[in-house]
Amino acid sequence: MGAIIVLSAVLAGLYLPVLHMGWLRLAAVAKVGSIVLLLAYAERPTTPRSLLAGLGLSAVGDLLLAVIGIAPVPPGMLFLAALFSFLLAHLCYIRLFSTHTERLSRASFRRVGMALVGAAVLLLLSVLWPTLGAMRWPVVVYAVVLAAMAISAQQSKFPAMTAIGALLFVASDSMLGYPSFHRVTRFGYEAPMLVWLSYYIAQVLISTGVARWCEQQGTMVQTGN
């Protein structure tokens, strides 16, 4: 299992350098392959199907974004299709987290995470609102679902790494959404790097945290502990 994670990380590390060199097809393979390998890692009898569906839909969204400039399809259509695929992925994660909830203590750092998510999404929408145009309501729906995913992760029984992964997902989508919809120039090579790293680490933390927790719980039930 560890070898799968290592291979996934290698592909993730190759993605941006290969993309920077203009090898778009190879970059697409590295990008999608890194998430598919996380799906392969998480595939075990105790893993909820909603996690696997979320990872699969995320890989589809990555593929749609990766083939912009390669496939003979308008970039806008590919971007919208990718947005819809990630929306469905977040809905799968919401189902995953909402079916494994626990009561939070008042001092829990997860309550802080929930507050940060709400504040960040509201701030981002307020900034983007004047420039969204026809994309206004699709972006609002996506932002609400994204926030619900991260908040439900904070309320779940899964380990802290999974809750942190959900927060990183919000950070990644926010960094991607701001320059995409605010009509500003990206801040050079650093922005794609931050977007990709935060997204990939988010998926690693969510998938490994959930898969290991569920396997541990299954083992405990079988042994009577």
The Cα–Cα gap between 167 and 156 comes to 13
Sequence-ordered list of residues with C-beta below 8 angstroms from that of 80, at least 6 positions apart, any chain = 138
Q: What are phi and psi of 156, to 5 degrees?
A: -85, 165
Domain hosting 56: range is 2-223
Q: What is the pLDDT of residues 27-51, one digit of tens each?
A: 999 999 999 999 999 999 999 999 9
Convert the pLDDT of each residue in 167-223 to its tens digit: 999 999 888 876 666 554 444 444 788 999 999 999 999 999 999 999 988 754 344
Q: What is the pTM of this model?
A: 0.88
Kindly report the length of the chain: 225
pLDDT at 139 over 90: no
Report the C-alpha gap between 180 and 53 in whole angstroms: 26
Tally of structural domains, the chain: 1
Task: Report the percentage of the chain scoring pLDDT > 90.
Answer: 60
